[in-house]
Copies of this chain bind each other. A is one copy, B any other.
Amino acid sequence: MKRTEISALYAGCAQLDGTSVTVCGWVKTIRDSKALGFIELNDGSCFKGVQIVFEESNLSNFKEVTKYNVGSALIVTGKLIVTPNARQPFEIHADEIVLEGASTSDYPLQKKRHSLEFLRTIAHLRPRTNTFSAVFRVRSAAAFAIHKFFNERGFVYSHTPIITSSDAEGAGEMFRVTTLDPKAPPLNEDGTVDFTQDFFEKPTSLTVSGQLEAECMAMAFGKTYTFGPTFRAEKSNTPRHAAEFWMIEPEIAFADLQDDMDLARDMIKSVLSYVLETCPEDMAFFNAHYDKGLIERLNSLIESDFGHITYTEAIEILEKHKEKFEYPVHWGVDLQTEHERFLTEEVFKKPIFVTDYPKEIKAFYMRLNDDGKTVAAVDMLVPGVGEIIGGSQREERLDVLLARMEELGLQPEDYSWYLDLRRYGGSKHAGFGLGFERLIMYMTGVSNIRDMLPFPRTTGSAEF
């Protein structure tokens, strides 16, 4: 069977006019009146479906075809006819329609609007809807754009470990990974669990970040990035938190905070450009149905220079407008989304970097500034969302890092390999983290992280 995908039909319909083609796909809509019927067939190769025209005069199984249910899988052979005056540029006049797989009259995805909440309960079928077809196609394109960006710049893609015996952030609730008997774990004489009998002979968890391991790779390759799943066992039931999500974490050697910001800016511009270029119909759909200003905002980011302000300057500005905010703002507090959006949307009216945050609200590995109070951290804030990327220059000075770890009660022996990077030819280096689902939310205007992952994992939910 020589099959042509619908995306190829759209690309080549002028050349294919009048020729016979075979398309395979699923029935999105079907209707008939007397001796004539119409099927919208979709094969997932692009956002759009193709219109199939079938006639009793031309089709021996016409009557059966009229009874096919929405969702049925069909193999259709027919003549492609260009239709310059119709809504769609061409249609297919069927000479043969073969039922590859039937559907039922109670198929859950009938032609009507379903709520995103309902569709989450049928996550195995929802990729067939317009919204999720577009979300996952954009997700796939964005993932490729990220690999392409880093590959073209000579970054080595590193698969940092998922199961870990360390805790990258020195904080964060983690999932335990174990093969011990859940009911009756082996115990030591003092009554504690005997983890030497666990699979890895010690307690292990799911990683919250590949950064520390990525730093090892940066000290060998100069430039590296991770792109893999990370985990948080936080019972946050919000539209922005999932227990399992994908993160991109580049790490660059011989680089400071400015290099880090340049990289983050170039990356995000590159990814947005790629997706707008390769998924125009999916993006037009989101623009029409989810966020009327979406494409304009993304294009504006691509063309924009980025603002830059320190945390201290940001606080000064925010304090002048404190009556606008729900959360109080003063030097030392972390910025809330409302503060971030005010800065990027109202003050700068473009994307900005905020740098040099108080050390108390940032992780132990961030480089201490000369003021002794702030660290070389950076957040990228974008209109419509707030923070989308967080990064920092890393502390490369062994003595300063050890002092900071002592302040925080971290044990140097737990990080001996990480500290070795400062003992053996350490260099200035920096990196950032981008939550992949947050990026897709920003790019699609769909506002719940549960709709960004094919099968989302959140508190109380690990279906499929």
Binding site for B on A (CB under 8 A): 1, 3, 5, 7, 24-27, 43-45, 71-73, 75, 100-104, 107-108, 123-125, 127-128, 132-133, 136-137, 139-140, 143-144, 147, 151, 154-166, 173, 175-180, 182-183, 185, 187, 191-193, 199-204, 206, 213, 216-217, 219-223, 228-229, 231, 233, 235, 243-244, 246, 253-254, 396, 417-418, 420-428, 453-455, 457, 459-464
Residues of B with C-beta under 8 A to A71: 424-425
Partner of A73, one of B24, B193, B425: B425
Q: Of B140, B233, B417, which contacts A158 at CB under 8 A?
A: B140
Q: Considering only CB atoms, which chain B residue lies closest to A206 in the complex?
A: B177
Q: Chain B residues with Cβ under 8 A from A420's Cβ? A: 124-125
Contact: A455 with B213, CB < 8 Å? Answer: yes
Closest residue of B by beta carbon distance from A422: B101
17 additional contacts (CB under 8 A) given A125-B420, A136-B156, A175-B179: A24-B222, A25-B222, A73-B254, A100-B427, A107-B425, A124-B417, A127-B216, A136-B158, A136-B217, A143-B159, A159-B229, A159-B246, A162-B162, A177-B206, A199-B459, A201-B460, A204-B462
A199, B100: Cβ atoms under 8 Å?
A: no
Name the CB-closest residue of B to A26.
Answer: B425
Establish whether residues A159 and B200, one from each chain, have CB atoms under 8 Å apart when the complex forms: no
Chain B: CB-nearest residue to A185: B182
Contact present for B221 and A104 (CB under 8 Å): no
A430 CB to closest chain B CB, in angstroms?
14
CA distance A71 to B219 in the complex (A): 10
Residues from chain B with Cβ under 8 Å of A25 in the complex: 222
Closest B residue to A156 using CB positions: B140
**Can you name the residue of chain B whose Cβ is closest to the Cβ of A176?**
B178
Q: With a CB–CB cut-off of 8 A, which chain B residues contact A124?
A: 213, 216, 417-418, 420-421
Which B residue's beta carbon lies closest to that of A182? Answer: B193
- With both chains docked as a complex, state the minimum distance between the C-beta of A178 and any C-beta of chain B, in angstroms: 5
Question: CB distance B177 to A427 under 8 Å?
Answer: no
